[in-house]
Structure 1
Amino acid sequence: MKYKIEVKNVQMVDEIREYWTNENYVQLLERFDYPNADDSKNENLRELLFMAITDFEPAEAAKLVLEYKLGEHLSEGQIDQISNDMLVDTVCEEYPEIELQSTLFHINQLLFKAYNGKFPSSSATIIECSIESLNNDNETSLTEEMVLRLLNNGLSERNIVRRLFEDQLKGEKEFPEAEHIIWELKNIDGDQYKITTSGNLIKKDDIISSEWEGEIEESKG
């Protein structure tokens, strides 16, 4: 299967605002002891949460948000450790369980914004591109694995994903990590896509071409 990839725009951002819903804000406000949060206007919820958060010590605030988002995935000891580590390091970029890195990013950046920089900042990369099939009869839906393998030819050899997952990108091994490397794969319209990933895993400077062709063969894994 052959494809033509054309990168339209790449930007690095320090938050993805739409990740947090008004319902999230209300539930977090309750955890931060803000009364009657559900009576507040939606447009005020974020600022109210920031004010409520900063009434707490940073590590304690981190613990409360971690418990809210990852309480079912992490032990109390892990949450205690991460809540302290977040103050000195970008845990979201280095956490060994890659499936948790995106959620840790959103938590980290919420706290970074609330405390106006007391937490180290991280980034996400948003790639807008077209991925056009060169096989007229091909109606295959693109997966995260397929997209990463197609992006491979346009990435610098220094790129972390290329260095860590060389065999997977070549299709020589299974690639379950792909769906966690790409946080969101959104088909905008036709062959137009929006890809959101970690700014640590794929930096803007890692994309060294604006247009190239790629071919995907059936995985040998």
Structure 2
Amino acid sequence: MNNQVVIKNIDTVNEVEGYWSDEDFIQLLEKFNYPDGATAEKSSLPELLEMAISDYEPNEAAEIVLKYKLGDQLGDGQIEQIANNMLIDKVCEEYPVIGMQGTLFHVNQLLFKAYNGKFPNAKASVVHFSITPTDGEVQKLTAENVLKLLNNGLSDRNLIKRLFENQMSQNISFPEAEGIVWELTTADDINYNLVTSENWINKEDITEYEFESVLEEIEDEA
């Protein structure tokens, strides 16, 4: 199916609003020995958590937040290692399990704010674009669909294209797309907002802002 793709804008952000819920803040406050989060004003929860976190050593705080978010996927030794590495590297850009990079970004930025810069400052990109079919009906697109359709507008230097050249350009499955794309939202299946790491897509990666792109059906690899 042929599509007209228009990339409207890319915002570079230090945090993704709405990722941490009030319940997350209350649960984390308990883990940082502040039990009154449930009765506090909702608007004050982020600030209270920053204060509670800052009473701990940075690597200890990182372990607590990582265990809260990824304790069901990582062992204690892995969490301890990541917590220590986060103080010196952008682990959220380098961690080999792509599906965890988004969560690691959100954890990193929570700690970055609480410690006023002791953790490296990672950034995310919010890509605003539209995809309009020119020879078929509008359909809801997946992360995989969207990345393949954006391919024609991205520089050859783009990290996704360099690491996943075949998946981006051929009609084969691209399971890693679900980890690369942290959020994909649309109200009308034409205008989309995509959230990902600045490491995956940034403003310098865009070579074309309006272009045509073909979405092919994925071949059965069985």
Alignment TM-score > 0.5, same fold? yes
Contact 2:171 2:217 in 1 (8 A): no
8 Å Cα contact 1:171-1:218 kept in structure 2: no
Instruction: Give yes or no for the alignment of 1:4 onto 2:4.
Output: yes
Partner of 1:42: 42
Asked whether the equivalents of residues 4 and 134 of structure 1 are also in contact (C-alpha less than 8 Å), the reply is yes
Alignment partner, residue 160 of structure 1: 159
Which whole-Å CA distance do the structure 1 matches of 2:56 and 2:217 have between them? 52
Hey, what's the Cα distance between the residues in 1 that align with 2:52 and 2:193? 34
Distance between the aligned counterparts of 2:120 and 2:189, measured in 1?
Answer: 38
How far is the alpha carbon of 1:89 from its aligned partner?
0.3
Distance of 1:149 and 1:35 partners within structure 2: 47
Distance in 1 separating the partners of 2:150 and 2:89 = 29
Query: Partners in 1 of 2:21 and 2:120 — Cα distance?
Result: 23
TM-aligned CA deviation for residue 190 of structure 1: 4.5
SS at match of 2:45: helix
Give 1:178's aligned residue: 177
Point out where structure 1 has 5 or more consecutive residues left out of the alignment. none
Aligned-pair distance for 1:203?
1.2
Instruction: Please give the root-mean-square deviation of Cα atoms over the aligned residues, in Å.
Output: 1.1
SS across alignment from 1:197: strand
Counterpart code for 1:132:
T
TM-score w.r.t. length of structure 2? 0.96
TM-score scaled to structure 1, two decimals?
0.97
Aligned equivalents of 2:189 and 2:155: distance in 1? 27
Counterpart residue identity of residue 150, structure 1 = L
Partner of 1:89: 89
> Is the 2:125–2:202 Cα contact (8 Å) retained in structure 1?
yes
How many percent identity over aligned positions? 51
For 1:1-221, list aligned pairs within 5 A: 1-136=1-136, 138-220=137-219, 221=221
Task: State the 1:210 CA deviation.
Answer: 1.1
Alpha-carbon distance in 1 for matches of 2:218, 2:80: 40
Rounded to whole Å, the distance in 1 between the matches of 2:73 and 2:97 is 11
Return 5+ residue gaps in structure 2 as ranges. none
Matched residues, number: 220
- C-alpha distance in structure 1 between counterparts of 2:139 and 2:187, whole Å: 16
> What does the per-residue CA deviation read over 1:131-169, in whole Å, with 9 as the maximum and x for residues that have no partner?
001123x24321111110110000011000000001001
How far apart are residue 172 of structure 1 and its match? 4.5
The range that moved more, 150-159 or 168-177, is 168-177
SS in 2 for 1:47: helix
Specify the SS of the correspondent of 2:204: helix
Which amino acid counterpart does residue 21 of structure 1 have in structure 2?
Answer: S
